[in-house]
């Protein structure tokens, strides 16, 4: 008996090893099963397969489980494939993933013999050697052990919402089968959603985004031989940075497909995804931020996505939240909205009184007017002599929920889809049908409401009079309590009061002086008095309104304005750490670490990329320099004075000529008289990383033994492979990769030709390590100009002579 115990234990261990794959195994064989928290892990450890629950389950549900594949080495749960998308199991311990007797990979739940999901392989001979292997590519493959080259089934042929490198988006010309990505139903449910991406079923060499497998809302444009015409990101790089992606389009007698691979893919996690919001994105995992960073997103405008906000809602491109329910409606599924999924739309608060509108005992439904919109889809045209007839026709039809009249009568039945706010300056209006209680102050109670309003005005006037005489010395600030984020229209005397008659000047720039102010709620603000300004009041207010709607963490926030006679003032958020130039070249006692310097360079790039590429109307700053970069208390950079070029109009060119001399921050096109584009901002930005790195004005280096204009010197040292000699081995060894990256991107930004300079969006990706960057040539324009101008005082406050 003493020897039988070890034998039993050995037998049990052997039995267990046959029943369950080990944690390190990438293979499931016919005599094994996977259940509970067991996993298959690819040989390189990058992918895992097992039971999971979505990270964002809606409604607090926690009993739905799925078989899926995810990234095994990153902390953020990222699912790339799901087997049982629409059929969850409810107990992973009682559920098993097995190789069934017929040779299929199958999911069994609660001891059932009927699979919840199966690979459904047909016309093959089932053998005991059938196995499932999780490859390093993230592809789950079913094959025979005796014939590894023959794939019986693979997850790469069973797309969910994710496109991994090496997989094909394809259309089989013989069978007509199209492989397409389909979004999740919502962020907590991997069932089939509304949005998909696929190659064009009509045969054109492009891929398309669709809603409900029926309505195309975005096209890539045809393949031109090396790129899609509507996707410049797919074009191979020539003189400027290589993205690391390789794209391939194949069209032969059997199939058409598009695929991509990634250089150094062992170190890079990347994926394409059709999100529940209808956007198609390529994302890259960034170790520094421990987050997925978008490399490519389409469509650029969110409101282009069909049905992105669902029914009975409005999409606004420039609002903080792009989707909002119409008046009289609330979110159908509020939890989904919190997770950024609005596709379920909104429901009506109060039922319509359809059928009772002719009764004197019942309040009639009424209409709420929304102006300046793009009208919803599925409008129906009906005969109506005028707007009143159009309204009555809709009111008398139980199914009619809205109308619009522009000389013709348009009506909508049952639902409103794709209503958009002020697209392209649209002047259309739409009248939404609501229950009478949603629009109060009507009918027989109008007199009561009027009386209440009059009484309220009397009380308010009396109260204001008392407050005026009792607090005359404590002048109230008019309009200060805006709680909706809209701009405040200040009175000039209010700004005099909060700035103590403009007594504390924070600084002076090209556009005027800035003063410190304190609002009654103790909020500190910066008040800029614009100088040399002659724009009319109406145009000024329109331009300021546009600037006030621009929100980004790396752009200074405009809070309000004042327009009185010839005076124009802007009120901004206050930045306690002041401007960047004071920390780089001034007497600031704060020494910026390399981490903060790099953060500042990247943050400025992000702010400019937003102005150039993400605003409805592209904004060219035209005056990028350290003096216009402000820092908050955490040294997060914020670009200031954007949009002022448009406000100043013709006066702006005069301002620039006296800004920083010849080779300060101005692009060569300012001097040559060529048209100014966003690439002028790129050049100006490019001059700053040299100064951020060194802590000196670029020209100050010529006073040392270096004797060469610093940007030119950096470019030459890069080509020689000796850039480390400019900064010292100790610094370079600590931050060499980022330092060299910053020097390269700066040199590319200051190239003579606009076409050779990157976009600011590309600059951001380079600094974040998402784009490779080639060695830049020496910027010839700066080299020649600096050589011929050694005796010029470039950085004086006066223009160069």
Residues 666-695: what's their mean pLDDT? Answer: 86
Are 425 and 522 within one domain?
no
Rg of the chain over all Cα atoms, to the nearest angstrom = 32
Are 172 and 133 within one domain?
no
The CA-CA-CA angle for residues 7, 9, 13, to 5°, reads 115
Q: 221-271 pLDDT, tens per residue?
A: 888 887 787 776 666 543 334 456 788 899 999 999 999 888 765 467 899
- What pLDDT, on a 0 to 100 scale, did the predictor assign at position 731? 62
Q: How many domains does the chain have?
A: 6
Give yes or no for residue 602 having a pLDDT over 80: yes
pTM for the whole structure = 0.56
- List the CATH number of the domain containing 373: 3.50.4
- What pLDDT, on a 0 to 100 scale, did the predictor assign at position 533? 64
Are 126 and 182 within one domain?
no
62: exposed, middle or buried (Cβ count in 10 Å: 0-12, 13-18, 19+) = exposed
Give yes or no for residue 657 having a pLDDT over 50: no
Are 535 and 610 within one domain?
no
Q: 411-463 pLDDT, tens per residue?
A: 999 889 989 886 555 568 899 999 888 886 544 344 444 444 444 554 454 44
Domain boundary among the residues 101, 135, 157 is at 157
Q: State both tokens at 250.
A: 């194949």
d(C-alpha 61, C-alpha 189), whole Å: 11
Domain boundary among the residues 157, 184, 207 is at 157
Are 295 and 389 within one domain?
no
Q: Which among 174, 169, 145 has a CA at the least distance from the CA of 157?
A: 169
- What pLDDT, on a 0 to 100 scale, did the predictor assign at position 13? 40
Max mean pLDDT range (1-10, 366-375, 518-527, 758-767)? 758-767
Residues constituting the chain: 801
Three-state secondary structure string covering 322-391 = CEEECCCEEECCHHHHHCCCCCCCEEECCCCCCCCCCCCCCCCCEEEEEEEEECCCCCEEECCCCHHHHH
93 lies in a domain?
A: yes
Q: 732-789 pLDDT, tens per residue?
A: 666 778 888 999 999 999 998 898 999 999 999 999 888 888 899 998 878 776 665 4
Domain boundary among the residues 573, 608, 637 is at 573
Which domain range does residue 426 map to? 366-442
529 is in an annotated binding site: yes
- What pLDDT, on a 0 to 100 scale, did the predictor assign at position 40? 96
Are 170 and 150 within one domain?
no
Residue 662: pLDDT band by 50, 70, 90 thresholds? very low
Higher pLDDT, 553 or 448: 553
Higher pLDDT, 584 or 70: 70
Q: What are phi and psi of 146, to 5 degrees?
A: -80, -15
Are 642 and 724 within one domain?
yes
Are 388 and 415 within one domain?
yes
- List the CATH number of the domain containing 671: 1.10.510.10
Active site residues: 623
Q: 612-642 pLDDT, tens per residue?
A: 988 877 888 888 999 899 999 889 999 998 8
359 lies in a domain?
A: no
115 lies in a domain?
A: yes
Are 316 and 255 within one domain?
no
């Amino acid at each position: 008996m003493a020897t039988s115990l070890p034998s039993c234990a050995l037998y049990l261990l052997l039995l267990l090893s046959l029943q369950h794959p080990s944690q390190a195994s990438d293979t499931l064989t016919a005599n094994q099963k996977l259940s509970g928290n067991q996993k298959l892990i690819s040989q390189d450890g990058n992918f895992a397969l097992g039971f999971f629950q979505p990270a964002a389950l809606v409604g607090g549900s926690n009993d739905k489980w799925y078989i899926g594949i995810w990234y095994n080495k990153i902390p953020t749960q990222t699912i790339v494939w799901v087997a049982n998308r629409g059929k969850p199991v409810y107990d992973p311990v009682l559920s098993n993933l097995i190789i069934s007797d017929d040779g299929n990979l199958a999911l069994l739940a609660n001891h059932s013999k009927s699979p919840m999901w199966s690979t459904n392989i047909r016309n093959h001979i089932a053998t005991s050697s059938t196995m499932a292997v999780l490859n390093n590519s993230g592809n789950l493959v079913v094959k025979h052990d005796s014939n590894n080259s023959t794939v019986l089934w693979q997850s790469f042929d069973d797309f969910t919402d994710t496109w991994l490198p090496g997989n094909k988006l394809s259309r089989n010309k013989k069978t007509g089968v199209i492989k397409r990505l389909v979004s999740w139903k919502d962020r907590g449910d991997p069932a089939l959603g509304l949005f998909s991406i696929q190659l064009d079923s009509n045969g054109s060499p492009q891929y398309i985004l669709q809603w409900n497998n029926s309505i195309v809302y975005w096209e890539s444009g045809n393949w031109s031989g090396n790129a899609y015409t509507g996707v410049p990101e797919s074009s191979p790089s020539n003189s400027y940075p290589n993205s690391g992606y390789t794209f391939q389009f194949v069209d032969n007698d059997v199939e058409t497909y598009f695929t991509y691979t990634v250089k150094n893919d062992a170190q890079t996690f990347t994926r394409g995804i059709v999100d529940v919001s209808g956007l198609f994105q390529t994302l890259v995992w960034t170790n520094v931020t421990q987050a997925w960073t978008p490399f490519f997103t389409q469509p650029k405008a969110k409101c282009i996505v069909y049905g992105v906000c669902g029914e009975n809602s409005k999409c606004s491109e420039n609002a903080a939240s792009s989707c909002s329910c119409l008046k009289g409606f609330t979110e159908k599924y509020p939890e989904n909205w919190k997770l950024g999924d609005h596709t379920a739309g909104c429901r009506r608060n109060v039922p319509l009184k359809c059928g009772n509108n002719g009764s004197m005992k019942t309040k009639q439904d009424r209409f709420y007017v929304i102006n300046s919109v793009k009208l919803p889809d599925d409008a129906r045209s009906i005969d109506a002599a005028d707007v009143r007839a159009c309204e009555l026709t809709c009111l008398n039809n139980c199914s009619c929920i809205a109308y619009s009249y522009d000389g013709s009568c348009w009506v909508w039945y049952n639902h409103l889809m794709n209503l958009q706010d002020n697209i392209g300056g649209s002047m259309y209006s739409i009248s939404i049908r609501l229950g009478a209680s949603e629009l109060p102050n009507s009918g027989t109670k109008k007199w009561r409401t009027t009386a209440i309003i009059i009484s309220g005005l009397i009380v308010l006037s009396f109260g204001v009079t008392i407050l005026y005489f009792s607090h005359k010395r404590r002048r109230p600030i008019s309009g200060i309590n805006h709680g909706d984020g809209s701009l405040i229209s200040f009175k000039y005397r209010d700004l005099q009061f909060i700035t103590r008659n403009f007594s504390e000047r924070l600084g002076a720039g090209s556009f005027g002086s800035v003063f410190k102010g304190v609002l009654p709620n103790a909020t500190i603000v910066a008040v800029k008095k614009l100088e040399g300004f002659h724009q009319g009041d109406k145009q000024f207010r329109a331009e300021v309104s546009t600037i006030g709607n621009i929100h980004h963490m790396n752009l200074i926030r405009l809070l309000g304005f004042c327009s009185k006679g010839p005076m124009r003032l802007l009120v901004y958020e206050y930045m306690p750490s002041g401007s960047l130039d004071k920390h780089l070249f001034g007497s600031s006692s704060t020494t910026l670490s390399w981490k903060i310097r790099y953060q500042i360079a990247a943050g400025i790039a992000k702010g400019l990329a937003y102005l150039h590429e993400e605003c409805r109307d592209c904004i060219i700053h035209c005056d990028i320099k350290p003096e216009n970069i402000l820092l908050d208390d955490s040294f997060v950079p914020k670009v200031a004075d954007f949009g002022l070029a448009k406000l100043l109009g013709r006066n702006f060119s005069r301002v620039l000529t006296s800004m920083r001399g010849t080779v300060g921050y101005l692009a060569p096109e300012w001097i040559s008289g060529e048209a100014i584009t966003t690439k002028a901002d790129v050049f100006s930005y490019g001059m700053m990383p040299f100064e951020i790195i060194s802590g000196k004005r670029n020209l100050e280096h010529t006073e040392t033994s270096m004797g060469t204009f610093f940007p030119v010197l950096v470019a030459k040292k890069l080509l020689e492979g000796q850039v480390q000699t400019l900064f010292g081995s100790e610094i370079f060894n600590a931050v060499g990769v980022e330092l060299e990256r910053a020097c390269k991107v700066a040199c590319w930004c200051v190239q003579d030709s606009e076409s050779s300079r990157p976009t600011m969006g590309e600059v951001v990706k380079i600094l974040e390590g998402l784009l490779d960057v080639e060695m830049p040539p020496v910027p010839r324009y700066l080299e020649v100009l600096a050589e011929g101008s050694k005796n010029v005082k470039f950085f004086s406050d006066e223009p160069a002579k």
